[in-house]
Amino acid sequence: MQNFIFISPNFPELYYKFVKSLKNVGFRVLGIGDAPYDELPPSLKEDLSEYYCVYGNMEDVERVAEAVRYFENKYGHIDYLESNNEYWLEHDAILRKRFNISTGLYPKDMEHIKLKSKMKECFLSAGAKVAKYQLVTTYEHAKQFVNEVNYPVFVKPDNGVGANLSFKINNDEELKDFIDKYAYETQFIMEQFIDGELISFDGICDEEGRVLLCFNEHFPVPVAIVVDEDLDDYYYATLNMPNEFRQLGERVVKAFNIKKRCFHIEFFRLKEDDPKLGKKGDVFGLECNMRPPGGDTPDLLSIAMDDSFYDAYASVMMFDKLDRPIKEKTYLSVSVARKDRFHYIHTHEEILNKYKERIVEYGRYKKSIALAMGDAYYFAKFEDDEVDKALEFAHFVQFKSL
Protein backbone atom coordinates (compact mmCIF):
# COMPACT_ATOMS: atom_id res chain seq x y z
CA MET A 1 0.00 0.00 0.00
CA GLN A 2 1.32 3.45 -0.92
CA ASN A 3 1.76 6.00 1.87
CA PHE A 4 0.49 9.54 1.33
CA ILE A 5 1.30 12.15 3.99
CA PHE A 6 -1.17 15.04 3.88
CA ILE A 7 0.17 18.14 5.61
CA SER A 8 -2.47 20.16 7.50
CA PRO A 9 -5.42 18.08 6.23
CA ASN A 10 -7.88 20.07 8.33
CA PHE A 11 -7.18 23.46 6.71
CA PRO A 12 -8.79 24.59 4.52
CA GLU A 13 -11.68 22.74 6.11
CA LEU A 14 -12.88 21.16 2.87
CA TYR A 15 -9.53 19.39 2.38
CA TYR A 16 -10.99 16.40 4.19
CA LYS A 17 -12.52 15.66 0.77
CA PHE A 18 -9.04 15.18 -0.74
CA VAL A 19 -8.22 12.76 2.09
CA LYS A 20 -11.42 10.78 1.54
CA SER A 21 -10.79 10.46 -2.21
CA LEU A 22 -7.16 9.45 -1.68
CA LYS A 23 -8.24 6.75 0.75
CA ASN A 24 -10.92 5.52 -1.64
CA VAL A 25 -8.39 4.86 -4.43
CA GLY A 26 -6.19 2.83 -2.10
CA PHE A 27 -3.72 5.17 -0.39
CA ARG A 28 -2.84 4.91 3.27
CA VAL A 29 -3.36 8.58 4.19
CA LEU A 30 -1.34 9.92 7.13
CA GLY A 31 -2.02 13.39 8.48
CA ILE A 32 0.31 15.92 10.10
CA GLY A 33 -1.14 19.11 11.55
CA ASP A 34 -1.18 21.45 14.54
CA ALA A 35 -4.80 20.90 15.56
CA PRO A 36 -5.42 18.42 18.40
CA TYR A 37 -6.82 15.12 17.18
CA ASP A 38 -10.08 15.63 19.10
CA GLU A 39 -10.72 18.84 17.10
CA LEU A 40 -10.57 17.14 13.71
CA PRO A 41 -13.87 16.66 11.82
CA PRO A 42 -15.30 13.14 12.25
CA SER A 43 -14.96 12.33 8.54
CA LEU A 44 -11.27 13.27 8.57
CA LYS A 45 -10.63 11.07 11.60
CA GLU A 46 -12.34 8.19 9.82
CA ASP A 47 -10.36 8.51 6.60
CA LEU A 48 -6.89 9.11 8.05
CA SER A 49 -5.00 5.95 8.96
CA GLU A 50 -3.14 7.94 11.59
CA TYR A 51 -2.66 11.56 12.62
CA TYR A 52 0.37 13.22 14.21
CA CYS A 53 -0.21 16.54 15.98
CA VAL A 54 2.76 18.93 15.93
CA TYR A 55 1.88 20.98 18.98
CA GLY A 56 3.00 24.57 19.03
CA ASN A 57 4.62 25.45 15.71
CA MET A 58 4.12 23.76 12.35
CA GLU A 59 6.54 26.30 10.84
CA ASP A 60 9.42 24.53 12.59
CA VAL A 61 10.35 22.13 9.80
CA GLU A 62 12.37 20.00 12.24
CA ARG A 63 9.25 19.33 14.30
CA VAL A 64 7.36 18.26 11.18
CA ALA A 65 10.34 16.12 10.11
CA GLU A 66 10.00 14.22 13.39
CA ALA A 67 6.44 13.37 12.44
CA VAL A 68 7.47 12.21 8.95
CA ARG A 69 10.23 10.07 10.47
CA TYR A 70 7.74 8.50 12.85
CA PHE A 71 5.46 7.54 9.95
CA GLU A 72 8.36 6.26 7.86
CA ASN A 73 9.60 4.04 10.69
CA LYS A 74 6.10 2.65 11.27
CA TYR A 75 4.74 2.29 7.71
CA GLY A 76 7.78 2.26 5.43
CA HIS A 77 8.83 4.59 2.64
CA ILE A 78 6.63 7.65 2.09
CA ASP A 79 5.42 7.81 -1.52
CA TYR A 80 3.78 11.26 -1.43
CA LEU A 81 3.93 14.30 0.83
CA GLU A 82 1.59 17.17 -0.07
CA SER A 83 -0.28 20.01 1.57
CA ASN A 84 -1.94 21.44 -1.58
CA ASN A 85 -1.46 24.73 0.27
CA GLU A 86 0.60 27.67 -0.94
CA TYR A 87 1.78 28.46 2.58
CA TRP A 88 3.55 25.11 3.02
CA LEU A 89 5.05 24.58 -0.44
CA GLU A 90 8.61 25.35 0.61
CA HIS A 91 8.39 23.15 3.72
CA ASP A 92 6.90 20.35 1.63
CA ALA A 93 9.86 20.58 -0.74
CA ILE A 94 12.42 20.43 2.11
CA LEU A 95 10.76 17.37 3.60
CA ARG A 96 10.55 15.56 0.25
CA LYS A 97 14.26 15.98 -0.32
CA ARG A 98 15.16 14.92 3.22
CA PHE A 99 13.08 11.74 3.03
CA ASN A 100 13.82 10.95 -0.64
CA ILE A 101 10.19 11.39 -1.74
CA SER A 102 10.50 11.78 -5.51
CA THR A 103 6.85 12.61 -6.33
CA GLY A 104 6.92 16.37 -6.03
CA LEU A 105 8.87 19.60 -6.00
CA TYR A 106 12.28 19.95 -4.32
CA PRO A 107 13.94 23.08 -2.86
CA LYS A 108 15.85 23.60 -6.11
CA ASP A 109 12.49 24.09 -7.87
CA MET A 110 11.24 26.77 -5.49
CA GLU A 111 12.73 29.91 -7.02
CA HIS A 112 10.47 30.04 -10.07
CA ILE A 113 7.59 28.53 -8.08
CA LYS A 114 7.53 31.12 -5.28
CA LEU A 115 9.17 34.29 -6.63
CA LYS A 116 6.81 36.28 -8.83
CA SER A 117 9.73 38.00 -10.55
CA LYS A 118 11.13 34.59 -11.62
CA MET A 119 7.72 33.40 -12.80
CA LYS A 120 7.94 36.00 -15.57
CA GLU A 121 10.71 34.00 -17.23
CA CYS A 122 8.54 30.88 -17.43
CA PHE A 123 5.59 32.78 -18.86
CA LEU A 124 7.80 34.36 -21.50
CA SER A 125 9.33 31.01 -22.45
CA ALA A 126 5.79 29.67 -23.01
CA GLY A 127 5.00 32.55 -25.37
CA ALA A 128 2.88 34.56 -22.93
CA LYS A 129 3.17 38.31 -22.57
CA VAL A 130 3.96 39.79 -19.15
CA ALA A 131 3.64 43.27 -17.66
CA LYS A 132 6.77 45.32 -17.11
CA TYR A 133 8.05 44.98 -13.57
CA GLN A 134 10.80 45.94 -11.15
CA LEU A 135 11.81 44.83 -7.67
CA VAL A 136 11.24 47.68 -5.20
CA THR A 137 14.22 49.05 -3.26
CA THR A 138 13.95 52.80 -2.58
CA TYR A 139 11.41 55.50 -3.36
CA GLU A 140 13.77 57.00 -5.97
CA HIS A 141 14.18 53.64 -7.66
CA ALA A 142 10.44 53.02 -7.66
CA LYS A 143 9.76 56.52 -9.01
CA GLN A 144 12.06 55.85 -11.98
CA PHE A 145 9.91 52.85 -12.84
CA VAL A 146 6.71 54.90 -12.45
CA ASN A 147 8.11 57.54 -14.80
CA GLU A 148 8.51 54.78 -17.39
CA VAL A 149 5.07 53.14 -17.10
CA ASN A 150 2.97 55.89 -15.39
CA TYR A 151 0.48 55.46 -12.55
CA PRO A 152 -1.23 53.38 -11.45
CA VAL A 153 1.19 50.57 -10.54
CA PHE A 154 0.61 47.44 -8.50
CA VAL A 155 2.89 46.17 -5.73
CA LYS A 156 2.93 42.86 -3.88
CA PRO A 157 5.51 40.69 -2.09
CA ASP A 158 7.81 38.90 -4.52
CA ASN A 159 7.34 35.82 -2.35
CA GLY A 160 3.82 36.09 -1.00
CA VAL A 161 0.61 34.17 -0.41
CA GLY A 162 -2.79 35.29 -1.70
CA ALA A 163 -3.60 39.01 -1.74
CA ASN A 164 -1.71 39.79 1.47
CA LEU A 165 0.15 43.15 1.33
CA SER A 166 -0.94 43.82 -2.27
CA PHE A 167 -1.68 47.42 -3.23
CA LYS A 168 -2.70 49.51 -6.20
CA ILE A 169 -0.72 52.77 -6.07
CA ASN A 170 -2.15 55.80 -7.85
CA ASN A 171 0.14 58.75 -7.07
CA ASP A 172 3.38 59.93 -5.45
CA GLU A 173 1.78 60.34 -2.04
CA GLU A 174 0.57 56.73 -1.98
CA LEU A 175 3.96 55.56 -3.24
CA LYS A 176 5.79 57.37 -0.42
CA ASP A 177 3.32 56.01 2.12
CA PHE A 178 3.85 52.46 0.83
CA ILE A 179 7.65 52.78 0.94
CA ASP A 180 7.57 54.16 4.48
CA LYS A 181 5.19 51.51 5.83
CA TYR A 182 6.01 48.32 3.98
CA ALA A 183 8.89 48.37 1.53
CA TYR A 184 11.54 47.34 4.04
CA GLU A 185 9.55 44.48 5.56
CA THR A 186 10.13 42.15 2.64
CA GLN A 187 11.08 42.19 -1.04
CA PHE A 188 8.25 43.67 -3.14
CA ILE A 189 7.70 43.53 -6.88
CA MET A 190 6.16 46.53 -8.65
CA GLU A 191 4.27 45.92 -11.88
CA GLN A 192 2.77 47.98 -14.64
CA PHE A 193 -0.95 48.07 -13.85
CA ILE A 194 -3.11 46.10 -16.26
CA ASP A 195 -6.76 47.07 -16.56
CA GLY A 196 -7.93 43.61 -17.44
CA GLU A 197 -10.17 40.77 -16.40
CA LEU A 198 -8.43 38.27 -14.14
CA ILE A 199 -8.79 34.77 -15.52
CA SER A 200 -7.11 31.53 -14.58
CA PHE A 201 -6.17 28.18 -16.05
CA ASP A 202 -6.74 25.58 -13.33
CA GLY A 203 -6.45 21.84 -13.33
CA ILE A 204 -4.46 18.67 -12.79
CA CYS A 205 -1.59 17.28 -14.85
CA ASP A 206 0.13 13.89 -15.03
CA GLU A 207 3.72 12.77 -14.50
CA GLU A 208 4.71 14.04 -17.97
CA GLY A 209 3.12 17.45 -17.45
CA ARG A 210 0.16 16.64 -19.71
CA VAL A 211 -2.99 18.48 -18.66
CA LEU A 212 -5.67 15.89 -17.94
CA LEU A 213 -8.35 18.20 -16.55
CA CYS A 214 -8.59 21.98 -16.90
CA PHE A 215 -10.94 24.85 -16.11
CA ASN A 216 -11.16 28.49 -17.06
CA GLU A 217 -12.06 30.69 -14.10
CA HIS A 218 -13.16 34.32 -14.51
CA PHE A 219 -12.78 36.92 -11.75
CA PRO A 220 -14.54 40.13 -12.86
CA VAL A 221 -13.08 41.88 -9.80
CA PRO A 222 -9.56 40.58 -8.96
CA VAL A 223 -9.20 39.23 -5.41
CA ALA A 224 -6.48 41.78 -4.58
CA ILE A 225 -8.88 44.61 -5.45
CA VAL A 226 -11.71 42.92 -3.51
CA VAL A 227 -9.50 42.91 -0.40
CA ASP A 228 -7.90 46.33 -0.95
CA GLU A 229 -11.19 48.14 -1.62
CA ASP A 230 -13.46 45.96 0.55
CA LEU A 231 -15.73 44.92 -2.33
CA ASP A 232 -18.08 41.99 -2.85
CA ASP A 233 -16.54 38.95 -4.53
CA TYR A 234 -17.99 36.82 -7.31
CA TYR A 235 -16.42 34.58 -9.93
CA TYR A 236 -17.28 31.66 -12.17
CA ALA A 237 -15.71 28.53 -13.61
CA THR A 238 -16.20 26.45 -16.75
CA LEU A 239 -14.44 23.63 -18.57
CA ASN A 240 -15.19 25.36 -21.88
CA MET A 241 -12.62 27.86 -23.08
CA PRO A 242 -11.13 29.14 -26.34
CA ASN A 243 -8.64 26.66 -27.82
CA GLU A 244 -6.01 29.39 -28.01
CA PHE A 245 -6.23 29.95 -24.26
CA ARG A 246 -6.20 26.23 -23.51
CA GLN A 247 -3.07 25.79 -25.64
CA LEU A 248 -1.38 28.73 -23.92
CA GLY A 249 -2.22 27.26 -20.52
CA GLU A 250 -0.80 23.89 -21.51
CA ARG A 251 2.44 25.53 -22.68
CA VAL A 252 2.73 27.40 -19.40
CA VAL A 253 2.26 24.17 -17.44
CA LYS A 254 5.17 22.68 -19.42
CA ALA A 255 7.30 25.80 -18.94
CA PHE A 256 6.87 25.65 -15.16
CA ASN A 257 7.69 21.93 -15.24
CA ILE A 258 4.53 21.09 -13.32
CA LYS A 259 4.14 17.34 -12.83
CA LYS A 260 1.43 15.23 -11.24
CA ARG A 261 -0.21 17.98 -9.22
CA CYS A 262 -2.89 20.65 -9.15
CA PHE A 263 -2.16 24.09 -10.59
CA HIS A 264 -3.78 27.52 -10.57
CA ILE A 265 -2.28 29.85 -13.19
CA GLU A 266 -3.46 33.46 -13.32
CA PHE A 267 -3.64 35.75 -16.35
CA PHE A 268 -5.02 39.15 -17.22
CA ARG A 269 -7.06 39.67 -20.39
CA LEU A 270 -7.15 43.29 -21.62
CA LYS A 271 -10.62 44.83 -21.50
CA GLU A 272 -9.74 47.53 -24.05
CA ASP A 273 -6.95 48.46 -26.43
CA ASP A 274 -3.98 49.92 -24.57
CA PRO A 275 -1.21 51.68 -26.52
CA LYS A 276 1.41 50.53 -23.99
CA LEU A 277 0.23 46.95 -23.62
CA GLY A 278 -1.67 45.68 -26.65
CA LYS A 279 -5.06 44.96 -28.13
CA LYS A 280 -8.34 44.17 -26.39
CA GLY A 281 -8.36 40.46 -25.57
CA ASP A 282 -4.58 40.09 -25.31
CA VAL A 283 -3.58 37.79 -22.44
CA PHE A 284 -0.77 38.49 -19.96
CA GLY A 285 0.75 35.95 -17.60
CA LEU A 286 0.48 37.03 -13.96
CA GLU A 287 1.54 34.21 -11.60
CA CYS A 288 1.46 30.47 -11.15
CA ASN A 289 0.38 28.62 -8.01
CA MET A 290 1.27 24.95 -7.57
CA ARG A 291 -1.89 24.00 -5.69
CA PRO A 292 -5.66 23.96 -6.18
CA PRO A 293 -7.45 27.33 -6.41
CA GLY A 294 -8.10 28.81 -2.99
CA GLY A 295 -11.01 28.86 -0.62
CA ASP A 296 -13.90 26.52 -1.44
CA THR A 297 -13.19 26.73 -5.18
CA PRO A 298 -12.52 22.96 -5.57
CA ASP A 299 -16.22 22.50 -4.73
CA LEU A 300 -17.09 25.01 -7.46
CA LEU A 301 -14.96 23.05 -9.94
CA SER A 302 -16.79 19.85 -8.97
CA ILE A 303 -20.08 21.57 -9.81
CA ALA A 304 -18.74 22.69 -13.18
CA MET A 305 -17.57 19.20 -14.14
CA ASP A 306 -20.67 17.55 -12.62
CA ASP A 307 -18.29 15.15 -10.90
CA SER A 308 -15.73 15.14 -8.09
CA PHE A 309 -12.59 17.24 -8.54
CA TYR A 310 -11.23 15.47 -5.46
CA ASP A 311 -11.71 12.05 -7.05
CA ALA A 312 -9.96 13.26 -10.19
CA TYR A 313 -6.97 14.40 -8.14
CA ALA A 314 -6.77 11.10 -6.25
CA SER A 315 -6.99 9.13 -9.49
CA VAL A 316 -4.08 11.03 -11.04
CA MET A 317 -1.98 10.57 -7.88
CA MET A 318 -2.60 6.82 -7.82
CA PHE A 319 -2.89 5.88 -11.50
CA ASP A 320 -1.35 8.87 -13.34
CA LYS A 321 -4.62 9.20 -15.26
CA LEU A 322 -8.30 9.96 -14.75
CA ASP A 323 -10.17 6.82 -13.75
CA ARG A 324 -13.24 7.90 -15.73
CA PRO A 325 -13.79 10.19 -18.72
CA ILE A 326 -14.81 13.80 -18.27
CA LYS A 327 -18.57 14.05 -18.64
CA GLU A 328 -19.87 15.32 -21.95
CA LYS A 329 -22.38 17.55 -20.15
CA THR A 330 -20.66 20.21 -18.04
CA TYR A 331 -21.75 23.53 -16.53
CA LEU A 332 -20.81 27.07 -15.74
CA SER A 333 -20.62 27.31 -11.94
CA VAL A 334 -20.65 30.65 -10.15
CA SER A 335 -19.69 31.69 -6.63
CA VAL A 336 -21.30 34.84 -5.18
CA ALA A 337 -20.45 36.16 -1.73
CA ARG A 338 -21.96 38.70 0.66
CA LYS A 339 -20.48 40.56 3.63
CA ASP A 340 -22.33 40.86 6.91
CA ARG A 341 -21.65 44.57 7.28
CA PHE A 342 -23.45 45.49 4.03
CA HIS A 343 -27.20 45.86 3.71
CA TYR A 344 -28.55 43.95 0.73
CA ILE A 345 -31.93 44.48 -0.91
CA HIS A 346 -32.80 40.81 -1.36
CA THR A 347 -33.11 38.48 1.62
CA HIS A 348 -31.65 35.00 1.82
CA GLU A 349 -35.15 33.56 1.41
CA GLU A 350 -35.79 35.65 -1.71
CA ILE A 351 -32.55 34.41 -3.25
CA LEU A 352 -33.45 30.77 -2.55
CA ASN A 353 -36.99 31.22 -3.91
CA LYS A 354 -35.92 32.94 -7.13
CA TYR A 355 -32.96 30.66 -7.88
CA LYS A 356 -33.98 27.39 -6.22
CA GLU A 357 -33.40 25.47 -9.48
CA ARG A 358 -29.92 26.96 -9.86
CA ILE A 359 -28.42 27.04 -6.36
CA VAL A 360 -26.38 23.96 -5.54
CA GLU A 361 -24.87 24.98 -2.21
CA TYR A 362 -24.83 27.89 0.19
CA GLY A 363 -23.26 28.59 3.57
CA ARG A 364 -20.76 30.74 5.43
CA TYR A 365 -17.01 31.03 5.04
CA LYS A 366 -14.69 30.58 7.99
CA LYS A 367 -13.30 33.77 9.49
CA SER A 368 -9.83 32.77 8.28
CA ILE A 369 -10.80 33.38 4.64
CA ALA A 370 -13.74 35.78 5.06
CA LEU A 371 -11.61 38.90 4.44
CA ALA A 372 -10.89 37.81 0.89
CA MET A 373 -13.97 35.72 0.14
CA GLY A 374 -16.82 37.31 2.12
CA ASP A 375 -18.99 35.99 4.96
CA ALA A 376 -21.84 34.17 3.21
CA TYR A 377 -21.71 32.42 -0.15
CA TYR A 378 -23.96 30.90 -2.82
CA PHE A 379 -22.84 28.39 -5.44
CA ALA A 380 -25.09 28.04 -8.48
CA LYS A 381 -24.85 26.36 -11.87
CA PHE A 382 -25.93 27.45 -15.33
CA GLU A 383 -25.54 26.19 -18.87
CA ASP A 384 -22.09 26.87 -20.30
CA ASP A 385 -23.45 29.59 -22.61
CA GLU A 386 -25.45 31.35 -19.87
CA VAL A 387 -22.78 33.78 -18.68
CA ASP A 388 -25.28 36.66 -18.74
CA LYS A 389 -27.70 34.74 -16.53
CA ALA A 390 -24.91 33.86 -14.11
CA LEU A 391 -23.96 37.53 -13.85
CA GLU A 392 -27.63 38.46 -13.32
CA PHE A 393 -27.68 36.01 -10.43
CA ALA A 394 -24.56 37.66 -8.95
CA HIS A 395 -26.14 41.10 -9.28
CA PHE A 396 -29.37 39.93 -7.62
CA VAL A 397 -27.53 38.43 -4.66
CA GLN A 398 -25.26 41.46 -4.16
CA PHE A 399 -27.71 44.28 -4.94
CA LYS A 400 -27.41 46.86 -2.14
CA SER A 401 -29.47 49.76 -0.93
CA LEU A 402 -27.94 53.23 -1.18
Domains and CATH numbers, the chain: 3-109 (3.40.50.20), 132-192 (3.30.1490.20), 196-398 (3.30.470.20)
DSSP string for 77-118: S--EEE---GGGHHHHHHHHHHTT--SS--GGGHHHHH-HHH
Cross-sheet strand order for the sheet of 133-135: 133-135, 188-192, 153-157, 167-169
- Tell me what pLDDT residue 373 has: 83
The enclosing H or E element of 256 equals none
- Tell me what pLDDT residue 295 has: 84
Residue 389 to residue 332: CA distance in whole angstroms: 10
State the DSSP code for 14. G
DSSP string for 204-255: EE-TT--EEEEEEEEESS-HHHHHHHT---EEEEES---HHHHHHHHHHHHH
| Inter-axis angle of helices 243-255 and 116-125, nearest 10 | 120
Residue 184 to residue 170: CA distance in whole angstroms: 20
Residue 166 to residue 68: CA distance in whole angstroms: 35
- Tell me what pLDDT residue 367 has: 80
Smallest Cα–Cα separation from 263: which of 198, 194, 309, 219?
Answer: 309
Centroid of chain to Cα 162: 8
State the DSSP code for 62. H
Smallest Cα–Cα separation from 194: which of 285, 293, 256, 289?
Answer: 285
**268-284 burial: b if 16+ Cβ within 10 Å, else e:** bbbeeeeeebeeeeebb
Which amino acid is it at 41?
A: P
Whether 265 and 201 have beta carbons less than 8 Å apart is answered as yes
- Radius of gyration, CA atoms only, the chain: 21
- Tell me what pLDDT residue 402 has: 66
For the chain, 402 residues long, give each residue's pLDDT as a single digit of tens. 999 999 999 988 899 999 999 999 999 999 999 999 999 999 999 999 999 999 978 999 999 999 999 999 999 999 999 999 999 999 999 999 999 999 999 999 999 999 999 999 999 999 999 999 999 889 999 999 999 999 999 999 999 876 678 889 999 999 999 999 988 888 999 999 998 999 999 999 999 999 999 999 999 987 777 877 888 999 999 999 999 999 999 999 999 999 999 999 999 999 999 988 999 999 999 999 999 998 899 999 999 999 999 999 999 999 999 999 999 999 999 999 999 999 999 999 999 999 999 999 999 988 877 777 889 999 999 999 999 999 999 999 999 976
Residue 80 to residue 259: CA distance in whole angstroms: 13
- Long-range contacts at 172-176 (CB < 8 A, ≥ 24 apart): 172/143, 175/139, 175/142, 175/143, 175/146, 176/139
Cα within 13 Å of Cα(106), Cβ side: 8
